[in-house]
Amino acid sequence: MPQLCRLHGWGILPTPRRVFDAVLFSNELDILEIRYGELLPHVDRFVILEANATFTGIPKSLSFLKNINRFAFAGSKIVYDMLPVIELDPGSRRQPFHVEAGHRRALNMLLRRSGIAAGDVLIMADADEIPSPETVQLLKWCDGIPQVMHLELKNYMYSFEFPVDYNSWRATAHVFTEHTLYRHSRQSNLMLADAGWHCSFCFKDIKEFAFKMKAYSHADRVKQDSFLNPDRIQRVICNGEDLFDMLPEEYTFRDLFKKMGPIPKSGSAVHLPSYLIKNAEKFKFLLPGGCLRSG
């Protein structure tokens, strides 16, 4: 580690920092298992908050709690809590974002109960935004890292067969203080390059795709019921097309031209999470050639 720290312009600590990994969980069981399996040797606490309703007010099962035995391998490091359902009034399109903000406040309280202390590293990310073990090692051992730093993650869509770009930046690493708050927005001008993977809509079952399309904060993009047709969703996944038939608003016109058409496929399994590769048969739907999903 000393050489790697020096190459980044940092010193080396005599003892490593503790690392806390905090996520808001919806229903991404497979990608969460890969996250925890990949980071288990390097993370001291996995802090996870789960609600029994989505940001858009749709009731949902407590998927993590119901499948807690699946994560027994990380059990001693997991700090879990459940947030009760929040009733939504019909109306404002902004409401899902207000609900999401409430979930983040609840996660802040859970973090304080998890034993985190000043000087520890806190990784703030969605479940499908996975920092690499090498990134976490830098955060643990290097002296002089920024107080707040974004993590540049390689974007994938539907599986690791469809690499998109390196424009995922919302995940952050913080050197914790009493003023640190869980957020998922821009917090710094500094970013650690090539820091991991972001696999969006990386589900095993078609029904999980449909649920997320209706449930997440941008659900207004589901313009008609036909978007949720299982045959359509399957075709879109295998072709690397757009589930919503639209492109995100933040793209510039230059980006729009680059994004037109399906995502080019990759046949490579190099530089992917090692836990994924070790469990390739279990997670074959996330690897090149595995686009067919179950109903």
pLDDT value at position 84? 86
C-alpha 263/C-alpha 110 separation (Å) is 38
| pLDDT tens profile 130-141 | 999 999 999 999
79 residue type, one letter? V
| pLDDT tens profile 253-274 | 345 445 556 888 998 999 999 9
* Both tokens assigned to 250: 């933040």
Domains of the chain in sequence order: 2-200 (3.90.550), 206-286 (no CATH)
Do residues 286 and 292 make contact, with C-beta atoms less than 8 angstroms apart? no
pLDDT value at position 118? 97
**Does residue 101 have a pLDDT over 90?**
no
pLDDT value at position 194? 96
C-alpha 198/C-alpha 201 separation (Å) is 10
Cα–Cα nearest to 41, from 134, 128, 126: 134
